[in-house]
């Protein structure tokens, strides 16, 4: 089937960079003109407005790494979808394994956040992934299917194509241990199958599925060649413009 998807290379800065460091990296990234694929930079909340300003006119999307599922009100310490769009955010990472592991995010919470993001026109980048223990027990497929189904519960056929999924095996995040292109392709294909069984083949062919986990300037091209891998969610390698821009270049295919 014809590939209807444009690759997306998204940087997840996590909790890195001070204000001056962030401005310097954003300024380096603003040299990007007409990138060969879609590009997004998900900075800490504090820097989103600056990112949107510095990157305006480059075509690079700006995003957050989390958000609240509630609209507004007494939710101390939270940030809403309306607040994100008001400072220029285009997208938001939802359900990253670090948030699930350290901040108790649940599948139901992830589902609620996706719905809120969609209702505000923010593109959700929804993370799923298995632990090393799950992989070694042979339950990767079951776990990922359940995560995807719960995340997408109640999302309409019209909205599903606005969702991006990121497959991030937990054992590959920040470890330097990347999934092989075959391992990553197998799970990204499985995710597409889950979406196809629920929304039909045509919709599933329009949903972008990224790989994340120690993706870098050296291994990106091989991973991005795989038919079901539609881009990357990049942690460590998004913190240096030279590395990140090499991965963006590898997205040209
Ligand atoms: P690393 O690229 O540092 O392994 O992080 C991946 C990730 O968690 C992106 O969201």
Residue 1: the pLDDT is: 44
Whether 96 is catalytic: yes
Please give the number of the atom of ligand 1 that sits closest to the Cα of 93. 10
The CATH label, of 3.40.1160.10, 3.20.20.70, 3.10.180.10, 3.30.70.920, for the domain at 8-250 is 3.20.20.70
CB of 60 closer than 8 Å to CB of 35 = yes
Residue 2: the pLDDT is: 47
Task: Tell me the two tokens of residue 191.
Answer: 């995710």
Of the candidates 50, 98, 105, 168, the residue annotated as catalytic is 168
Whole-angstrom distance, CA of residue 211 vs CA of residue 220: 10
Please give the number of the atom of ligand 1 that sits closest to the Cα of 216. 2
Task: Tell me the two tokens of residue 83.
Answer: 């607040």
Residue 33: the pLDDT is: 83
Whether 168 is catalytic: yes
Global model pTM greater than 0.85: yes
Tell me what the pLDDT averaged over the chain comes to. Answer: 96
**How many angstroms separate the alpha carbon of residue 175 from the centre of ligand 1?**
9
- Residues 141-147 have a mean pLDDT of 98
Whole-angstrom distance, CA of residue 185 vs CA of residue 18: 35
Residue 3: the pLDDT is: 58
**How many angstroms separate the alpha carbon of residue 251 from the centre of ligand 1?**
17
Please give the number of the atom of ligand 1 that sits closest to the Cα of 175. 4
- Residues 137-154 have a mean pLDDT of 98
Cβ–ligand 1 contact at 223 (below 6 Å): no
- Residues 119-136 have a mean pLDDT of 98
pLDDT by residue (tens digit) across 11-45? Answer: 999 999 999 999 999 999 999 888 999 999 999 99
Cβ–ligand 1 contact at 215 (below 6 Å): yes
pLDDT by residue (tens digit) across 70-107? Answer: 999 999 999 999 999 999 999 999 999 999 999 999 99
Q: Over 70: is that where the pLDDT of 142 sits? A: yes
Q: Over 90: is that where the pLDDT of 49 sits? A: yes
């Amino acid at each position: 089937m014809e590939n209807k998807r444009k690759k997306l290379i998204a940087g997840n800065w996590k909790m890195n960079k001070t204000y001056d460091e962030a401005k310097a990296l954003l300024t380096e990234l603003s040299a990007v003109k007409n990138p060969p694929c879609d590009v997004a930079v998900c900075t800490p909340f504090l820097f989103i407005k600056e990112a949107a300003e510095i990157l305006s006119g480059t075509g690079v999307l700006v995003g957050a790494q989390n958000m609240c599922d509630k609209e507004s009100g007494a939710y101390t310490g939270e940030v809403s979808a309306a607040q994100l769009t008001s400072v220029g955010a285009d997208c938001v990472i939802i359900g990253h394994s670090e948030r699930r592991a350290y901040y108790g995010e649940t599948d139901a919470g992830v589902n609620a956040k996706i719905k809120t993001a969609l209702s505000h026109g923010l593109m959700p980048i929804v993370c799923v992934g298995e632990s090393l223990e799950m992989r070694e027990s042979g339950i990767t497929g079951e776990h990922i299917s359940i995560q995807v189904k719960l995340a997408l519960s109640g999302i309409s056929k019209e909205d599903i194509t606005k969702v991006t999924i990121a497959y991030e095996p937990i054992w590959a995040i920040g470890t330097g241990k990347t999934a092989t292109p075959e391992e990553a392709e197998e799970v990204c294909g499985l995710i597409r199958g889950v979406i196809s069984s629920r929304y039909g083949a045509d919709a599933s062919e329009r949903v972008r599925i990224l790989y994340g986990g120690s993706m870098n300037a050296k291994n990106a091209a091989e991973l991005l060649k795989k038919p079901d891998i539609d881009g990357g969610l990049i942690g460590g390698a998004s913190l240096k413009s030279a590395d990140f821009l090499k991965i963006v270049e590898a997205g040209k295919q």
